[in-house]
Structure 1
Amino acid sequence: MTPLHRSPLAQPSTVPAVFRAAARILAANGLYQGDFVPDMADREICVPHFLRPMSIVAALKCATTNDPHLPSLLSDEAIGVLALRLEVDGEGPMFGGIFDLEAHVDGWGDAEGRTTEDAVALLEAAAGVNEVAA
């Protein structure tokens, strides 16, 4: 199933806008820990992936492409900016490749006890900080 057409004006065009859009997606769908979305192979769930709970990285991708699995240059930039702001077990990202940065962000989101509200608050705060910096 394809999502409804979205106006190009509705697409986020800045990193802070991507953070805000991802926060709205997580607030509506919920945070998922352990993978991009539950039942990634569609063995048990028939709901489209963009409507399922998702990880922070999946929400950032979905904010720019309407697909939690499809990256874009803007979502990759947002993932990198967010990864450099986060500490997991007291450390920043180990390497600078996009998969390492994604793993770092999802490591933060996968922490035991992490809630949807925590992830939404993180993205909203990151949006505010990046707006001021820009």
Structure 2
Amino acid sequence: MDSLQTPETVGSPGAFTVTLTWDGPGDVDLHTFEPTGTHVYYDHPVGHAGFLDVDNTVGYGPEHYYAACDSRTLQTGAYAIVIDNFDKTPGRQATVQVASSREGVIFTAKLPVGTASTPVVSVLVSQDQKGRFRFAAQ
């Protein structure tokens, strides 16, 4: 136990986060479509409500998106999460996890990475009567 080291944290915390990892070399990309239609990905890492702050291009991941905790920029609505096998490497398996600051882990899936873009989940952001943000996966 003395030889174990705590892994370095990768990615910023946020109102909610999306983390993508995969099982080998190659480039699998994380894409987030924010409620306003802004497409956040490797070539456009800054959105209206969030950021792609980790972009791994050599293998295994992670790739990481986080939505800002600022109520002036966090948008209610659906955030579509999509993965894309950029290198078209066959046989990859990906793991996608969504976590929120309030609810903890709200979604985890292990799925095959095809040669076309793969929709994974929508993260629904809403506000309750007291103005608190809520997060759900659909």
Task: Give TM-score, length-normalised by structure 2.
Answer: 0.25
The structure richer in strand per residue is: 2
Q: Which has the larger radius of gyration?
A: 2
The structure richer in helix per residue is: 1
Task: State the structure with bigger RCO (CA 8 A, min sep 6), 1 or 2.
Answer: 1
